[in-house]
Each structure stands twice: as structure tokens, then as C-alpha cells.
Amino acid sequence: MVRQIEKLEKELKYIIMYSLKLKAKIREIKKEIADIEYAINLLGKEYKDLVRMKYRDKKSFKGLYISKGATCDRRNETVEAIAKLLNGRL
């Protein structure tokens, strides 16, 4: 009986530690999301539209009726702009 109680106590400690680690990870991810949303809000309208279309609406850049090279350039510019903004904030 004592062994079973000790086993349950160990299991409870493990579950509590695991839960705390998950909560910390969730806080970290929420902070990253807030930083990214902040960076996106600072972008110009064209960049915001690209990000919205690609990640929220799950559309490809093919619907923009621009060349593949120009699409890649705009995507790279958007990513670089977000990275610059995030580097200043992190």
C-alpha cells in the first residue's frame, strides 16, 4: 500500500512538472505571437495584405497576377521587414 502511494506521489510530481513546462512554453509562444503581430501592424499595407493572404487566407501568391520573380521579391522583402522589426524588439 505504501509503495502504491509513493508511486502515485511520484506520478503527481511528474504531471505537475510537465504541466508547468507546458504552461511556460505556451507563455513563450504567446509572447512570440504578440511580437509578430506587433511587427505586422507596423508594416505597410502592401506587406500586410501579402501576409494576410498567405497565412490567414491560406492563398498562394499566384493570384496576384504578377511575375514569379516579383512575388518572390515581395515575399523576401516582407520577411526581411518583419525580421528587422523583431530583432529590435527581442
Q: Picking from 2-6, 14-18, 22-26, 70-74, which range would have the lowest pLDDT averaged per residue?
A: 70-74
This prediction's pTM: 0.66
Residues 6+ apart with CB under 8 A from 53: 59, 61, 63
- In tens, the pLDDT along 55-87 reads 777 766 666 666 777 777 878 888 888 888 888
Q: In order of start, what are the domains of the chain with their CATH numbers? A: 2-89 (1.10.10)
The rounded mean pLDDT for the chain is 84
- In tens, the pLDDT along 42-51 reads 888 877 877 7
